Amino acid sequence: MQQRTLDLLSRTGDPVVFDPAVVDELRADVDAGLAELAGRLPESVSPEPAPVIVVTKHDLGEVFTCEAKWAAPDDFAWSAAKAKGQVAHKAVQLSIHWRGEVVPITVVDEAIGRLAEDERGLGPWLASLPPGDAADLRGRAVEHVTKFLECFPPLDPRWRPVTEGSSQYPLGGPIVLRARIDLTLGVPQRGESRKVIVDLKTGRLMSRHREDLRFYALIETLVRQVPPRLLASYSLDAAAAETEEVTVDLLRSALRRTLDGVQRIVEIQFEDRPPTRSPGPACRWCACRASCAVGQAWLADDRQAD
């Protein structure tokens, strides 16, 4: 499995080099698009001290899946199933830089301890976790980390592995694009694209995951001014990856999708446009499914089909 992963992520063929003029064009198009959308925000909305709109892969995925689901009040609550990913990602980060033998339960416990110290987000929930829930979370996260260690070869420091790396574009303003990437390998060298972006997944891979990676590639290009070479959605359950080479057309497509998504957010949040409803599998866990007629109809048809 480790050799297969290495073969998937390694470069074959000629070096990948993008025309710097294309990158400049992409940056100019994004700047112009964000400026136009920022100009549609109410004058009473101030970009200080923080951006008014922070756009992530989750925001784009949700607003394109169903605008009504994206706009619905958030009823999110932590559980072991929801927290395992964040704990496992932190443990993977520790494992890459761990001295000596990496034992999954050891790095998972260390990850839980570090995350519990945070006063925001997952921290308070972890700090008050009953023993049974803590054991459940530990078991789920250990499974995730064990699969990663089985599937990935030991990461050579010369590959410049970075976990949970953050990027943002632009530096400031009322609208910013933000990414947090599971794993990157490689760095550009004299304009040559060498970086590989890896998104770690449990369960089956979906088309939305590919769009997430394209969004990451766009932000990486805007920030570093050298596009990445390869994108990979890696399923730990299947020990297999779907890869996609980065091209100019891919980056332009990601740019159009991103600006379209930001426009939808501006229209719904600040211009009083009613969100559209797009029934589908996401209706099963939507917060507004009880009051959504089209969602209820889709669920009824889905149950009848089952």
In order, the DSSP letters of 60-83 are HHHHHH-HHHHHSPP-----HHHH
Q: Which domain holds residue 15?
A: 2-59+158-253
Asked, for residue 243, whether it belongs to a domain, the answer is yes
Residues 225 and 180 in one domain: yes
Rounded to 5°, the CA angle 28-33-35 comes to 95
Max Cα separation, the chain? 58
Decide: 209 and 243 in contact? Cβ < 8 Å.
Answer: no
Boundary residue ending a domain (98, 121, 151): 151
Residues 113 and 180 in one domain: no
Boundary residue ending a domain (105, 131, 151): 151
Residues 162 and 55 in one domain: yes
Rg of the chain in Å (alpha carbons): 21
Residues 86 and 211 in one domain: no
- How does pLDDT run along the chain (306 residues), one tens digit per residue? 899 999 988 888 889 999 999 999 999 999 999 999 999 999 877 666 778 999 999 999 999 999 999 998 777 778 888 888 889 989 998 998 898 899 999 999 999 999 999 888 888 999 888 999 999 999 999 999 999 999 998 888 889 999 889 999 999 899 999 999 999 999 998 889 999 999 998 777 788 899 999 999 999 999 999 999 999 999 988 888 899 999 999 999 999 999 999 999 999 999 999 999 999 988 888 888 888 999 999 988 877 666
Decide: 165 and 96 in contact? Cβ < 8 Å.
Answer: no
Residues 147 and 105 in one domain: yes
CA distance 94 to 102: 9
Residues 140 and 90 in one domain: yes
What angle in degrees, to the nearest 10, is found between the helix axes of 207-224 and 248-270?
Answer: 100
Residues 193 and 135 in one domain: no
Residues 132 and 202 in one domain: no
Closest by Cα among 227, 229, 218, 217 to 259: 218
Residues 215 and 108 in one domain: no
- Cα distances (angstroms) measured from residue 159 to each of 86, 213, 234: 24, 20, 18
- pLDDT at position 48: 66
Asked, for residue 266, whether it belongs to a domain, the answer is no
Asked, for residue 193, whether it belongs to a domain, the answer is yes
Asked, for residue 49, whether it belongs to a domain, the answer is yes
- pLDDT at position 277: 94
Decide: 142 and 105 in contact? Cβ < 8 Å.
Answer: yes
Which residue, chain included where needed, has tokens 């891919």? 250
Closest by Cα among 26, 6, 15, 2 to 194: 15
Q: 1: which residues sit within 8 A by CB, 6+ positions away?
A: 150, 151, 239
Asked, for residue 30, whether it belongs to a domain, the answer is yes
- Tokens encoding 223: 């920030």
**Coil, strand, or helix at residue 306?**
coil
Q: 8: which residues sit within 8 A by CB, 6+ positions away?
A: 232, 241, 243
Asked, for residue 105, whether it belongs to a domain, the answer is yes
Asked, for residue 275, whether it belongs to a domain, the answer is no
How far, in whole angstroms, is CA 17 from its chain's centroid?
25
Boundary residue ending a domain (253, 278, 299): 253
Query: Residue 205: phi, psi to the nearest 5?
Result: -90, 145
Residues 9 and 132 in one domain: no
Residues 93 and 205 in one domain: no
Asked, for residue 226, whether it belongs to a domain, the answer is yes
Number of domain units in the chain = 2
Question: Considering Cα of 151, then 153, then 155, then 159, what sign does the dihedral take?
Answer: negative
- pLDDT at position 120: 83
- Tokens encoding 106: 């050891």
- pLDDT at position 291: 87
Residues 38 and 114 in one domain: no
- pLDDT at position 50: 76
